[in-house]
Amino acid sequence: MKTFHIRFYENRKIYFAISLGLMAIGLIFNIIFGTQLDIQFTGGALIKYSYTGTIDQEKVQDIVQSTTNKPVTVNINEDVKSANDGKAINNVSISFSGTESLTVERQQAVAAALAKEYPNAKFAVVESSSVNPVMGRDFFFKCLLSVLVAALLLIVYIAFRFKKIGGASAGAMAIIALLHDVTMVYFTFVIFRMPINDNFIAVVLTILGYSLNDTIIIYDRIRENRKLMGPKADYGTLVDTSINQTLTRSLYTAACTFAAIAVVYIVSVMYNLDSVQTFALPMMVGIITGCYSSICIAGPLYVMWQKHKQQKKQQAAASSR
């Protein structure tokens, strides 16, 4: 049987460098583009109409701006495929700047003004949302709080389950791996210029669970191997053996999960399903980093911690003698 013999602990600096490098790239993007929050969180308004024929982007912008007295951005998306009848439709989305919500009357006025200018375009609302800034902010804090509570519960659970191999250190290393994954998912949103929305929270929480699942499988093997190899075994060898033994499983599971969500992503791109895209893409990234962080970050870090502890103990023993 094919077994891996990758020396993860020895190569740890390479992995740390890769992660830090990616984070640096993400940070640069973040500084340049900033972080976009969805109107779900900030408040604001967005309307998407379907229409037939051709319309002029600038003209639409002028009409809407003069009707609402608000600066707007107009995006035209032609020939959007529809999955049920295969007919392509044209969409125009209008996003209003500022965080104020739009009243129903204003929205009707926009539709009326557009219909007046283009009587044959048959504008119909595909989707629209208008969010009050106070409610958006509440929702945002609720989401952040949920991530905190989930992270806390997971750490308590892992510390409890892995008491025997140093629950605190195992938990702490798992947290670093989790922070790593959350950061990567966050940078995915930044780099692809997707506004942070409730999908972000769903992805982050799922990846927390998924990545921890990966880490647990490895810790479980470490726990088992500790018994097999005895207390004298070197931490580096112990952890490397455990990671290599579980590597097939980690890669296979990641492959299956990745394939499933990648199909969702491809389909959502084909049919222009925004809400699904902003869910699937970061989830794909999260699955890869979740697998990577458990293997290449959490394991080696755990060894470093344990070795540090051993050294301290030896020093203490030496000085007391």
Q: Which two tokens stand for residue 54?
A: 């051709």
Query: Which lies closer to another protein via its Cβ, residue 26 or residue 101?
Result: 101
CB of 254 to another protein, least distance (A): 9
Q: Establish if 95 lies at the interface with another protein (CB under 8 A).
A: no
- Other C-beta atoms closer than 10 Å to the C-beta of 304 total 16
Query: Which lies closer to another protein via its Cβ, residue 10 or residue 138?
Result: 138
CB of 205 to another protein, least distance (A): 5
Q: Establish if 24 lies at the interface with another protein (CB under 8 A).
A: no
In angstroms, rounded to a whole number, what is the distance separating the alpha carbons of residues 220 and 249?
13
Sites for another protein among residues 230-249 (CB under 8 A): 245, 248-249
Among 58-66, 187-195, 218-226, 231-239, the segment contacting another protein (CB under 8 A): 218-226
Q: Establish if 263 lies at the interface with another protein (CB under 8 A).
A: yes
Sites for another protein among residues 291-320 (CB under 8 A): none
Selected from 9, 12, 114, 221, the binder of another protein by CB under 8 A is: 221
Q: Which two tokens stand for residue 310?
A: 């051993």
Residue with tokens 């023993």: 317
Can you point out the beta strands (E) in the chain?
44-51, 72-80, 89-96, 124-131
Sites for another protein among residues 171-210 (CB under 8 A): 198-199, 201-202, 205-206, 208-210
Among 15-23, 30-38, 180-188, 251-259, the segment contacting another protein (CB under 8 A): 251-259
Selected from 16, 29, 271, 305, the binder of another protein by CB under 8 A is: 271
Query: Which lies closer to another protein via its Cβ, residue 33 or residue 252?
Result: 252
Sites for another protein among residues 47-66 (CB under 8 A): 50
Q: Establish if 229 lies at the interface with another protein (CB under 8 A).
A: no
Selected from 35, 52, 103, 311, the binder of another protein by CB under 8 A is: 103
Q: Which two tokens stand for residue 144?
A: 């952040």
Pair 93, 77: CB distance under 8 Å: yes
CB of 306 to another protein, least distance (A): 17
Pair 43, 99: CB distance under 8 Å: yes
Q: Which two tokens stand for residue 142?
A: 């609720």
Q: What are the φ and ψ backbone dihedral angles of 70, each rounded to 5 degrees?
A: -130, 140
CB of 267 to another protein, least distance (A): 4
In angstroms, rounded to a whole number, what is the distance separating the alpha carbons of residues 316 and 321?
9
Q: Please choose, from the candidates 50, 44, 60, the residue with its C-alpha nearest in 3D space to the C-alpha of residue 96.
A: 44
Q: Please choose, from the candidates 260, 282, 259, 278, the residue with its C-alpha nearest in 3D space to the C-alpha of residue 268.
A: 278
Q: Establish if 216 lies at the interface with another protein (CB under 8 A).
A: yes
In angstroms, rounded to a whole number, what is the distance separating the alpha carbons of residues 86 and 61?
29
Q: Please choose, from the candidates 84, 92, 94, the residue with its C-alpha nearest in 3D space to the C-alpha of residue 44.
A: 94
Sites for another protein among residues 107-166 (CB under 8 A): 107-108, 111, 124-132, 135, 138-139, 141-143, 145-146, 149-150, 153-154, 157-158, 161, 164
Selected from 69, 84, 120, 320, the binder of another protein by CB under 8 A is: 84
Selected from 33, 270, 313, 314, the binder of another protein by CB under 8 A is: 270
Q: What does the DSSP assignment read for 45-113?
A: EEEEEEESS---HHHHHHHHHHHHSS-EEEEEEEEE--TTT---EEEEEEEE-SS----HHHHHHHHHH
Q: Establish if 280 lies at the interface with another protein (CB under 8 A).
A: yes
Question: Contacts with another protein: how many residues (CB under 8 A)?
Answer: 80
